A and B are shown apart, each in its own frame.
Chain A
Amino acid sequence: MSQHDHAHEDSAAIAHHHDIHSELPSDPALRVKALESLLTEKGLVDPATVDAWVETYESRIGPRNGAKVVAKAWVDPDYKRRLLSDATKAIGELDMLGNQGQHMVALENTPEIHNLVVCTLCSCYPLPVLGLPPVWYKSAPYRSRAVLDPRGVLKEFGLELQEHVKIRVWDSTAEVRYLVVPERPAGTEKLSEEQLAALVTRDSMIGVAKVKA
């Protein structure tokens, strides 16, 4: 069977299941509850493991990880060089969460070049360094317009770039995940690496904001 025929049969089989999904509770809280108790009963899920997953993303994996990478790159030119040439390896040096099977690429913002990351097809995001993506990143308005009208989208975030700045949009897919290294703000020369990390926001590492001193 050709790839085309196979995909066609596949989609027909999936459509067959659509009736089942539509019979489930419309309140997602009830739907989750029913699924969790069914899967627990069948031994396909351990609720304590779900607790652990939630706890991990609530307190251990989030944009503070990425902020540490950025602050280190700001204060350590050798590290910055390594980060920009092989981000997967350089982030791995910091022993945060390994690479999660994702190839990482770091993109440096400068006064002339502004990088912006999106995933138009789904919600690919650099999980190990930024945690779970915010709702707006996964939303239709951002996904549809970040590639077509990046300057307009940035304005909605309150960021107006000068006409001469070159915008580089990265429409990412699952295999390579992008982390923006924002510009270090002026007036931060005396701050420690830790103090600098506290300034770095999630939005600045996606490319929709600048870091403020």
Chain B
Amino acid sequence: MNSIHDMGGMHGLGAVRAEPNEPPFHEKWEGRAGGIVEVMTFPENFPGDRFRYLRETLRPDLYLTQSYYEQWLYVAEQILLEAGMISAEELRDGRAGPSAAKRNDAMRADAVWGFLHDRAHTGRKLAEGPRFAIGQRVRARNMQPDGHTRLPRYARGKTGIVTRHHGGHVLPDAHAHWQGPAPQHLYTVRFTARELWGEAANPRDRVNLDLWESYLEPA
């Protein structure tokens, strides 16, 4: 979707401000929020790409003003609401409704290390070989899907060269909308800074993007 999250190439968002010796969490609630979102019980077969998609659906004004972990909270609430695992009333009240059943399968503390070790792989074996070869010139399609995609606006319609092939990977565009993994070949495509940004860009600079096969056409 063409929303505020797709900000590569924008001006006006200010200078980068790095904090020396930044801690992992600035306040206690950030760690709680991060932890809840990672270790809570998810809906069955929840596609990881939907997590990213849901963050993109945050209202643009809130996307720019809320902190990262506040945005995670929004995503967690949204995941649980749309799966019917919590109700709007429960969320408002901060307590379970009278008829709510209590589950007993929450992740245990001693399972965290293994959980972080064994996150699901997105790699998939594909029967068909790759359509594009390393070294081939390709153009990123001009497409404007209103759902999730990993093709940023700044690369659409631009021509680059395939430099790596990563095998088959789950397609975020389908997976984020519960349409199954629909795996495709994934490539790294190298664009010159001039192709992306015009003559004023440094002629030596390049930008590399990982792009799925359906994002590309021969150039």
A5-17 contact mask (Cβ, 8 Å, vs B): 1 or 0: 0111011011101
Question: In A128-166, which residues have CB < 8 Å from any B CB?
Answer: 131-132, 134-136, 138-148, 150-151, 153, 156-157, 164-166
Pick from B57, B207, B210: contact of A169, CB below 8 A: B207
B-side contacts of A172, CB under 8 Å: 210
A57 to B35, CA, bound (A): 10
Q: Contact at A101–B146, with CB atoms within 8 Å?
A: no
Interchain nearest-CB distance for A70 vs B (Å): 20
Q: Contact at A7–B78, with CB atoms within 8 Å?
A: no
Q: Contact at A46–B103, with CB atoms within 8 Å?
A: no
Instruction: Say yes or no: is A37 at the interface (Cβ < 8 Å to chain B).
Output: yes
A40-58 contact mask (Cβ, 8 Å, vs B): 1 or 0: 0111111011111110111
New A-B pairs, 14, CB < 8 Å, besides A35-B73, A174-B48: A7-B1, A14-B54, A20-B91, A28-B73, A32-B29, A39-B40, A49-B111, A50-B36, A57-B24, A136-B16, A144-B9, A146-B8, A151-B202, A175-B166
20 A-B pairs (CB sep. < 8 Å): A14-B54, A14-B82, A29-B28, A39-B86, A42-B85, A42-B86, A43-B105, A45-B106, A46-B107, A46-B108, A49-B109, A50-B31, A54-B31, A140-B13, A140-B64, A144-B13, A153-B16, A166-B206, A169-B206, A171-B208
B interface residues, Cβ below 8 angstroms from A: 1, 5-11, 13-19, 22-29, 31-36, 38-41, 48-49, 52, 54-55, 57, 59, 64, 67-70, 73-74, 76-78, 80-82, 85-86, 88, 90-96, 100-113, 116-123, 145-148, 150, 152, 154, 164, 166, 169-170, 172-174, 177, 179, 186, 188, 193, 196-197, 202, 204-210
